[in-house]
Structure 1
Amino acid sequence: MAGDFDGIALVVDWLDACRNRDLATLLDLYADDAMLKCQCGEAKVSEGRAELESYWRPRLGALVPTAFGLEEIMPTADGVVLDYLSHEGKPVRIAFTFRRDGKIQASHCMPVAESQQHAACMQDYAG
């Protein structure tokens, strides 16, 4: 992982901002040109602070009690992968990559069941 920062701690801060419905703090964790790719339902790509705000504002406004519960957090060669419960309480996997200054450069989320199928397919091709 690039830089001298703790990616896992940054992802925990991301979860806390989401749980607290703190949109300003959440957006401050992202680089100004960050990209978010969401495959939870209809695929959506958001880029830059304004689009990220449009993506996150309605999700933070309608949280279920179990929203943003931590399931598992794993460092990877490229960043951090987080399994958590979405704003609707559904299991989601999100992969984060970071810039050297400790800002989120990109995130890509999908339902956990799909990410596990994707991983199994990749193993089939690798093996």
Structure 2
Amino acid sequence: MSFDPMAVAIDWLDAYRAGDIEAILEMYAEDAVVHCGCGCGGIKTITSREALRAYWIDRLREHPASKLDDLNPSHNDGTIISYITTTGVMSARFAFDAAGRIKELNCNPSH
């Protein structure tokens, strides 16, 4: 592995906190899939670049992130990060492609 999965998760949170949509989108693989169960009006699966951009425009406006809550490695070289938003503590589980881009993201309220 030529990247640090935990560092990518921190970079993602930093871009999210900064509201930098272009930096966020650049972190995703072209065929990335996002499963959202946190503040998306129900459970949603986002698969296209256009839908991913729309998702992030809404997230940045409605649910800005503040500080890191927790960070842990996950199975298969992934990462789980917990962070605080206006709706409480959220948990995101990342899976990455070989280049270190986000291949899959599962986001849910932290329990």
User: What is the distance in 1 between the residues matched to 2:100 and 2:66?
Assistant: 21
Contact 1:34 / 1:105 at 8 angstroms: preserved in 2?
yes
Q: Which runs of 5+ in 1 are unaligned?
A: 114-127
Q: Which runs of 5+ in 2 are unaligned?
A: none
Q: Which residue of 2 aligns with 1:123?
A: none
Q: Which residue of 2 aligns with 1:91?
A: 89
Report the CA distance shift for 1:83/1:30 in structure 2 as closer, same or farther (over 3 A).
same
Cα RMSD after superposing both structures: 1.4
- Select the structure of larger CA radius of gyration: 1
User: What is the distance in 2 between the residues matched to 1:103 and 1:34?
Assistant: 9
Q: Which residue of 1 aligns with 2:6?
A: 8
TM-score (norm 1): 0.79
Residues paired across the two proteins, number: 108
Q: Describe the SS at the equivalent of 2:15.
A: helix
Instruction: Give the residue type in structure 2 aligned to 1:51.
Output: A
Instruction: Give the residue type in structure 2 aligned to 1:57.
Output: I
User: What is the distance in 1 between the residues matched to 2:109 and 2:37?
Assistant: 7
Q: Describe the SS at the equivalent of 1:68.
A: strand
Tell me whether 1:80 sits opposite 2:71 in the alignment: no
User: What is the distance in 2 between the residues matched to 1:91 and 1:85?
Assistant: 4
Q: Give the % identical residues.
A: 33
Q: What's the offset of the Cα at 1:61? A: 2.3
Q: What's the offset of the Cα at 1:48? A: 2.6
Q: Deviations over 1:55-107 (max 9, x none)?
A: 1102212455xx23100000122200011113x24111110000001100000
Q: Describe the SS at the equivalent of 1:5.
A: coil
Indicate the structure whose relative CO is greater, using CA pairs within 8 Å and at least 6 residues apart: 2
> Segments of 4+ in structure 1 off by > 6 A?
none
Select which of 21, 24, 34 maps to 2:22: 24
Instruction: Give the residue type in structure 2 aligned to 1:27.
Output: L
User: What is the distance in 2 between the residues matched to 1:97 and 1:72?
Assistant: 17
User: What is the distance in 2 between the residues matched to 1:106 and 1:38?
Assistant: 11
Instruction: Give the residue type in structure 1 aligned to 2:75.
Output: A
Higher fraction of strand: 2
TM-score (norm 2): 0.90
